[in-house]
């Protein structure tokens, strides 16, 4: 076996890295979206690169919106009614006591 065969065998015998299945955190998505906006605001990118960044930004924006909606639906106030604990959706109009 030559040294190039050893290099090839060694390179291809490594375990494949795990794919990320979870989406980035809200904060990471927002930070990337802000970076994209700054890049686009410079106005010095070629059209194709600007379009690619815009599409990426739209996906990030939709993901951030989805994450915010999920968080909003999880914000609940627990109210006691007798012996039961009942989850009531948070009402922004009603001040907390």
Indicate the helix (H) or strand (E) that contains 86.
strand 84-89
**Structure tokens, 9:** 């065998």
Which has more confidence, 13 or 95?
95
pTM: 0.56
Residues 6+ apart with CB under 8 A from 85: 78, 79
Domains in the chain: boundaries: 23-89
Q: Write out pLDDT tens, residues 12-46.
A: 444 444 455 577 899 999 999 999 999 999 999 99
| Per-residue confidence (pLDDT) for residue 85, from 0 to 100 | 64
User: pLDDT confidence of 92, banded at 50, 70, 90?
Assistant: low
Q: Write out pLDDT tens, residues 77-87.
A: 444 555 666 66
Positive or negative: CA dihedral 89, 92, 95, 96: positive
Using the CB atoms, write b or e for 40-65: b if 16+ within 10 Å. eeeeeeeeeeeeebeeebeebeebbe
């Amino acid at each position: 076996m030559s040294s190039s065969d050893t290099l090839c065998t060694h390179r291809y015998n490594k375990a494949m890295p795990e794919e990320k299945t979870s989406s980035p955190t809200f904060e990471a998505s927002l930070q990337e979206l802000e970076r994209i906006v700054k890049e686009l605001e410079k106005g010095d990118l070629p059209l194709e690169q600007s379009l690619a960044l815009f599409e990426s930004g739209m996906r990030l924006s939709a993901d951030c919106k989805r994450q915010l909606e999920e968080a909003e639906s999880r914000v609940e106030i627990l109210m006691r009614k007798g012996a039961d604990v009942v989850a009531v959706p948070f009402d922004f109009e009603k001040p907390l006591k």
